[in-house]
Amino acid sequence: MLFKRFLSSVTRTDVQHFTKILSPPSVLSTLQNAPSAELDIYNNDWMGKYKGSSTTVLKPKTTQQVSEIVKWCNERRIGIVPQGGNTGLVGGSVPVNDEVVISLQNMNSVRSFDPVSGILVADAGCVLQALTDHIASHDHIMPLDLGAKGSCQIGGNVSTNAGGLRLLRYGSLHGSVLGIEAVLPDGTILDQLSTLRKDNTGYDLKQLFIGAEGTLGIVTAVSILTPPAPEASNNVILALPHFNNVLPLYMEVKRQLSEILSAFEYMDRTAYDLAVKHGQGRALADDEIEGAECFVLVETSGGKREHDEEKLETLLSTLLSASNPLITTGVMAQSPAQFSSMWALREGITEAVSKEGKAYKYDISIPLSKFKECVDATREQLRSKGLLGDGDGMVKAVIGYGHVGDGNLHLNVIATRYTQEIQDALEPFVYEFTASHRGSISAEHGIGLMKTHALQYSKSDVSITWMKKIKALFDPNGIMNPGKVLE
Ligand SMILES: O=C(O)CC[C@@H](O)C(=O)O
Ligand SMILES: [Zn+2]
């Protein structure tokens, strides 16, 4: 790795200094005889794809401590990897070499919640589910929701600009994050923890940190606007005979449900079957979905249960009674347990994929009409290279699912193991397909380590040049999450 040439390794002296800043249990270092196995969860990503060799993990409790650690590292050119729940899918939160890991897990307090405005101020290490629970008693919800909510942290969510399942309704974090506190690469604390809805005072620095993946500094706290909890949420799963029906169905669902529509999620047949196979959530009856090519999960979040249920029932009956029905069948959740179980099916695809094999994950924005074409073309590409089939080193399945309303396709290629041959068959193929439709190589998972070489498929040379200038301005020594986002 290029950056290795100018970054230093952590020494015993550094660890002694870190132990002075933090109390001993907050320092985990093989240089202080910690068994290296104890660092495994920090050095490895959960997919088993990316692996670093950090010797030292630090778990500060305060912003001041983060600042002192970062200042020390910057003066000695020691690379730093900020780490939240380590649930990322692009290798952004694990070290590449032996950078110090700064885990935010001990910075996990809610600083304030204002039930009038719905503004929540929380430490970066707060787990998304814990925040969701915290504000539930005030009848508010987080503006984002994702499968990893039980372990991902809000600082990581903001740093990766996580999208998730509610973006269709509540927009991206660029809109709902009102402020951040961050430690800059020289140790300075940037206090932009604003709770103002309107603040039109020139450059909005916090926006730079949303999606910067920890390359410009460490987000230590966030201020976020949370919406009131809807009175009633419900969902339906719809089975479609053809992919071509998804677009007209989306238009019809928007027309009928208008403002109560809160999610419109797509799964192709293989994705659905995998989730069912691995016991994720509620499945439709087998005989009812014979011949179905894909599925859509529609969620409503509205003001009145009876009204919303009536809307969904009308939707189902008009869809089914049409002379050329867009769906073959549809089921509406009849209880909170069924509601959760239907979501578990969609949210469980990632876990089902990881049980099935090793996944190459692409997370792209392309026109909705191209979702199936992309999956089919990728499968054909693998077939033409003789890589599709049973057996070791082969691709078992290619699946597509994702957030239709956001134009975001998750293309997962599942193999028995990661191989160079599969990698070469997939890239640049997938990125060229994406670029040919003026798409984005990352709709929501970010660039991390995985896509630094491919940034030019989504960003112009001028954009990349200015991104590099910004990085150099904030982090002239290149210590902050080295090797991520930019090569
Ligand atoms: O595992 C994936 O590729 C997608 C994960 C997540 O973004 C989702 O939408 O379920
Ligand atoms: Zn997603």
Tens digit of each residue's pLDDT (9 = 90 or more) over 92-120: 999 999 999 999 999 999 999 999 999 99
Domain coordinates in residue numbering, the chain: 2-106, 110-225, 232-342, 357-472
**314 C-alpha to center of ligand 1: Å?**
31
Which residue in 195, 147, 140, 142 sits closest to 171, CA to CA?
A: 142
Q: Which residues contact 168 (CB under 8 A, 6 or more apart)?
A: 261, 262, 263, 264, 403, 405, 406
| Ligand 1 centroid from CA 269, angstroms | 16
Q: What is the band of 50 on the pLDDT scale with cuts at 50, 70, 90? A: very high
Distance CA 122, CA 124 (A): 6
Q: How far is the CA of 349 from the centre of ligand 1 (A)?
A: 8
Q: Which atom of ligand 1 is nearest to the CA of 147?
A: 10
CA of 265 to the centre of ligand 2 (A): 9
Q: What is the ipTM of this complex?
A: 0.99
Among protein residues, the one with the nearest Cα to ligand 1's atom 10 is 347
Q: How confident is the model at residue 1 (pLDDT cuts 50, 70, 90)?
A: very low
Indicate the pairing of strand 329-332 with strand 294-302.
Answer: unpaired
Alpha-carbon gap, residue 237 to 257, rounded angstroms: 15
Kindly report the protein residue whose alpha carbon is nearest to atom 7 of ligand 1. Answer: 164
Question: Over pLDDT 90: what percentage of the chain?
Answer: 96
Residue of the CA atom closest to atom 5 of ligand 1: 350
CATH topology of domain 2-106: 3.30.43
CATH, range 357-472: 3.30.70.2740
- Ligand 1, from 47, 267, 278, 350: best to mutate by most atoms within 8 Å of Cβ? 350
Predicted pLDDT at 405: 87
Residue 3 has pLDDT above 80, yes or no: no
- pTM of the prediction? 0.96
- Alpha carbon of 324 to ligand 2 centroid (Å): 31
Q: Does residue 229 surpass a pLDDT of 70?
A: yes
Residue 2's pLDDT is: 47
For position 5, what pLDDT does the model report? 59
User: In this predicted structure, what is the pLDDT of residue 451?
Assistant: 98
Q: What is the mean pLDDT of residues 54-79?
A: 98
Question: Which of 166, 353, 363 most suits a substitution to test ligand 1, by most atoms within 8 Å of the C-beta?
Answer: 363
Regarding the domain delimited by 232-342, which CATH topology (the fold level of the hierarchy) does it fall under? Alpha-Beta Plaits (3.30.70)
- Nearest ligand atom owner, CA of 408: 2
How many Å lie between the centroid of ligand 1 and the Cα of residue 120? Answer: 26
Domains 232-342 and 357-472 share a fold: yes
Span from the CA of 359 to the centroid of ligand 2 (angstroms): 15
CATH topology assigned to domain 110-225? 3.30.465
Whole-number Å distance between alpha carbons of 37 and 121: 35
Give nearest CA residue, ligand 1 atom 1: 350
pLDDT band at 282 (very low <50, low <70, confident <90, very high): confident
Residues flanking ligand 1, CB < 6 Å: 89, 147, 349-350, 361, 363, 410, 412, 444
Q: Two tokens at 35? A: 């068994």
